[in-house]
Amino acid sequence: MSERTKVTLPQLLEMKRSGQKITMITAYDYPTGVWAERAAIDIVLVGDSMAMTVLGYSTTLPATMAELIAHSQAVTRGCKNSFVLGDMPYMSYQPSIEMAVQNAGRFMSEGACDGIKLEGGLTMADRVEAIVNAGIPVMGHLGLTPQSMSMLGGFKVQGKDALMAKRIIDDAKVLEEAGAFSILLECVPSKVSKLITERAEIPIISIGAGPDCDGQLLIFHDMFGLYPAFTPKFAKQYADVGETIVQGLKGYAEEVREGLFPEPKHGFTIPDQQYEELLKMLE
């Protein structure tokens, strides 16, 4: 097996053209970055979903730039060859183009990311264009955009009626024209996602948007039973690591209470002569 090399934008675009599916997951810390690297995942997103899966908030809105930069640094220390994206948190880009470019730049210079992701279509196209013009790759995000959850009426599928579906299709075109290298579609009907994917020259990634996109994204914690609050319909659990951890903790607690842990092999000794000297010192 040949040694893995860094995933690049031209490589991702070629995967789109050749029909090779793109793999993408979220990661929030060093161990997950290492595991993603070992699994040869193509794109790793340091998502603002961290606010929910790691910090326990009910939405993504409390995530801050400082938190996401710190988590990006951790992920990129462990994940050297995947294409790592920093997720622009709420109000880090909406207020102005200047703020958007500055904060996107922080993900590159401080977080060691390869690009950024941000939510929104037509209304955010000028931000996308400015960030791209600053030399920073941008992935767009359409459909269910969690930062706009209040406007959307909650975590609901987007594009189920023709008018909204047309709006998402139009937004995808606008983002591509603004220079986005890829677009993430979240909770969009499969037929709508297929239309967007067929019309786009850039990779279209699905998270709950069906099988016809150029790639798939899942939240790491959903994949492995690590987020007990809820599991989205679109998520597939590949292992119940959460339950394994619970059983391990129960086993640990039981052994401690019964005096079975630690065993001698888990401790350290002092030479008998040194111990005798210590006892004399204490007399």
Which residue in 92, 102, 103, 114 sits closest to 33, CA to CA?
A: 114
Which residue in 123, 157, 162 sits closest to 140, CA to CA?
A: 123
Encode 79-90: b = buried (16+ Cβ within 10 Å), e = exposed. Answer: bebbbbbbbbbb
- Active-site hit among 14, 176, 186, 276: 186
Measured between alpha carbons, how far is 244 from 155 in angstroms, rounded to an integer? 29
DSSP line for 38-106: HTT-SEEEE-TTHHHHTT--SSSTT--HHHHHHHHHHHHHH-SSSEEEEEPPTTSSSS-HHHHHHHHHH
The one-character DSSP state at 268 is -
* 186 classed as catalytic: yes
41 vs 79, 96, 162, 220, CA distance in Å?
10, 33, 35, 12
Give the largest Cα separation in the chain, rounded: 88
The residue count for the chain: 283
Dihedral sign from CA coordinates of 214, 45, 32, 232? negative
Q: Residue 102 in contact with residue 144, Cβ under 8 Å?
A: no
Measured between alpha carbons, how far is 62 from 82 in angstroms, rounded to an integer? 27
Q: Which two tokens stand for residue 147?
A: 């930062």
Which residues are the active-site residues?
186
